[in-house]
Structure 1
Amino acid sequence: MFIFSTNTIINSLNWPGFKQVNAEEHTDLESKKRFWVDETTNPDTKVLRIARDFRFDKANVVAVYKRSWEAPEHFKVTFDLSKLIAARTTKEIVGRVELYVRLSGSNNSYYANDSVYKGKPFYVEFPVKMSDTDATLAKSIVNISKKYQNMVYEYPLINVYTSNAQGVADPAGTCVTFAGTDEYQLITKAELQYYDEVARSYDCCASFGEFNTLADGIVVTQGEQGFGTYRQIMKDLRLPTAANTRWDRIAIDETPIPGAHYNEYIIYQCVNRGIMGSDAVGDLVKSRTHHVFYVLDNGGEVATNPAKAFEEALTKVIGNDAIKEVVDKDYDDVTLTKEDLDKSYGVSGAEGTSGTVKNIANKAHGTNVENQKADPNTAPRGLDTAEGIETNHKQ
């Protein structure tokens, strides 16, 4: 029918202080775990329990995926000005830096255009004087760039500074570096140019100038969105609406913490629901659900770090090698197969073994081969199953 998914943020190891529940009135809050492994209900199967939310039985867990938090990166492109100095031979010339910055994951109206992807060009033109050196020209470009952005945008969309060839800031640097101010900015074009007055000449008298490219900028780093950060979770998971930011808000314990980092864990669960289908009489139904947890990673050890403790609990329930770590949740996840689904409720997947879809149907309804009585434990609810149900139908 549809993909059912939940998302939960876990900020602590212990039961959070809800309304009318606080440490002064409940001195045993430290013993109230936010999540724990239940080994007493069924000695044969361990269960991961999460306070007020879920229980995950090993037999029902299909797969678990982990994606660690990632720090955002701002683009950085550096220009070596020596080629521009070399192009200035007998007289002053005009230089230009041409950039194109595209957005990914943001709708900043400053970058609105008539294309599918938001983006805008940046041009900085400057004189290259006969007295200029690499260092003095770099400072001149920085000053002009700052004035240009202040006049047009009222604040800098791009940081500009003198640097060395690796893009490291240096007041006496001979290079100039343009760096992004936002993780959603991507640099797609970076060229160092000069104006050639006679680039296009026609007969003896007519000529037209144009900017020619001397060199491409060196991209030190490309822009990359962060993952599991406060900004990313507020943008994609917990929108900063009044309901989510007000005093005494709903699920206040799941509010992202500014400056904190969260690992993502996706638990795929599949449970056999029995005979409750609508496509055919006696149709067997399995419910498959996705449960996403963002768990605080404070860099500490298991005793104080919710992310490490959560992984340890998952390992106890589903085994050491069951957590699959991925780089990107959208491109690295594996499509679940029929064998995965069969295994999710204690089935080997091989035909003829106990628990497969075919044999569960046989067990519930009986077969024409053995004409056996149905198993009372798998028959539909509401029927008298004390003596079983005689069946003689063919499958």
Structure 2
Amino acid sequence: MFNWTTTTIINSLEDATTGDKLVKVWKNAENGSGFSGSYPVIKIKRDHTFEARYITNVYKAAAKEPVKCKATLDFVKIVKKLKALVEAGSISPQIYGRLAFYIALEGSEESIYANDMYQKGKPFSIGFGPVTITKDSVVEDAAKAIVKNLVKNATNAIYGKRLFKLTANGETSVVLEGTSEFQRFNFINVAVDDSSEEVLVSDYNFFFENEDSGVSGIKLDERGQNGFGTYLYMIRNLQLPTIHNTRWLHLKEDEKPVVGAKYTQYIVNYCAPSMANPGLTVVGQHNMSATTHVFWVNENVADQFEAFLVDAGINPEAVALAEGNKVKDNTKAGTEFPVNHEQTVEHTKSKKAAGSASDRV
């Protein structure tokens, strides 16, 4: 049929207006929970009351900081290759060249990167020269001249805003870095023009994984990684920053993502008898309702929140977010652990809560 999922942000374990506890545990349901029986019951915020015996799984994923893509280009190595080409007569001593690279996106569809291909991305090219290199040239001097020229020319490569940073790393190398966690370098190369031909000198290509072979001079330091459970992640994936969600004293103010905060994700899988239509008693069939409940808990209170779960006999299973967009275990993705398209999950063996519904049905 359909999947029923709720999503809740928890910034505090106390109600801001009344001071009431937002998470309560009854180890014996009969002692004030409103349920009958001797099993534990846990109530989370105002809307979620779970009988522990019907919780089948609880997964936990910690927040992850974003990492921007970054590469280092060593022009001493690159100039050595240029010098060898000059001595072999393959290119002329007076060199005009360029640093070219392509920035693609993962987890973003920003329109400034729109092109005629399926995946958004944008090419960049920064020229340098003329630089004269002969067999008698000092490699370090030529490298310094190219680095100085590139850093100066990089200031012109702006599309409304700066989409990358190119800075000198000492006098003979440069650092190329993205400005957003969603950017990825698909290729980086250094080429020179000789007559009507372009001669590729050094090359990094993500698809062929040919990064720094020891002589290319191009090394990928960071591929890039999207954040998880960060403020940007929350407003992009859970709560749109509309006037209704950001105005002063908007509805559910305590569920507003906090700038600078990080959130741990807890996913509760619940399978309980259907109260509206408990069964077709003529043939003895019992109907069970399976629902999923996602809680984003501010790291400041995550340990306390988890302590309540453990107190109710529920032990969350930690899962690790994997890099890239490939789902490691297709049997888990989108069922027991709803996966956002920007993140993938690597699961270990599922731990069932004692007396879970799947053990009885």
Trace 1:80-91 onto structure 2 (pairs within 5 A): 80-86=74-80, 87-88=82-83, 89=86, 91=93
2:69 aligns with one of 61, 70, 75: 75
> Any idea what SS the aligned residue of 2:258 has?
coil
- C-alpha distance in 1, partners of 2:148/2:13? 52
Higher mean C-alpha displacement, 132-141 vs 50-59: 132-141
Q: Using CA pairs under 8 Å that are at least 6 residues apart, name the structure with larger relative contact order, 1 or 2.
A: 2
TM-score normalised over the length of structure 2: 0.77
Give 3-state SS (helix, strand or coil) of 1:139's partner. helix
1:100–1:119 contact (8 Å) kept in structure 2: yes
Alignment equivalent of 1:118, drawn from 117, 120, 144:
120
State how far apart, in whole Å, the 2-side matches of 1:142 and 1:249 are: 47
Q: Which protein shows a greater Rg?
A: 1
Q: Which residue of 2 aligns with 1:5?
A: 5
Identity %: 32
| SS of 1:133 mapped into structure 2 | helix
Q: Report the equivalent of 2:307.
A: 312
Match of 1:384 in 2: none
Shift of 1:123: 1.2
TM-score after normalising by structure 1 = 0.71
Distance 1:142 1:12, change over 3 A: same
Find out whether 1:178 has 2:147 as its counterpart. no
Which consecutive residues of structure 1, in runs of 5 or more, have no partner in the other structure?
22-28, 164-171, 198-207, 299-305, 350-355, 358-395
Aligned pairs (5 A) from 1:131-280: 132-149=141-158, 153-163=159-169, 172-197=170-195, 208-216=196-204, 217-273=218-274, 276=278
Describe the shift of the 1:340–1:154 C-alpha distance in structure 2 as closer, same or farther (beyond 3 A).
closer
The aligned residue for residue 372 of structure 1 is: none
Give 1:84 shift. 3.4
Q: Secondary structure at the match of 1:140?
A: helix
CA RMSD of aligned residues (A): 2.8
Task: Give 1:316 deviation, angstroms.
Answer: 1.6
Correspondence 1:40-79 to 2 at 5 A: 40-42=28-30, 44-79=38-73
Offset of residue 247 of structure 1: 2.3
Distance 1:279 1:115 in 2: 57
Q: Cα distance 1:343–1:41, how it changes in 2: closer, same or farther (>3 A)?
A: closer
Partner residue in 1 for 2:35:
none
Amino acid at match of 2:243: A
Which residue is equivalent to 2:319? 326
Closer/same/farther in 2, CA of residues 318 and 213 from structure 1, 3 Å limit = farther
Q: Is the 8 A contact 2:62 2:263 kept in 1?
A: yes
| Contact 1:78/1:178, CA 8 A, preserved across alignment | yes
Q: What is the aligned length? A: 306
Distance 2:69 2:285 in 1: 55
Q: Quote the Cα distance in structure 2 between the aligned partners of 1:180 and 1:135.
A: 23
Unaligned ranges ≥5, structure 2 = 32-37, 87-91, 134-140, 205-217, 337-348
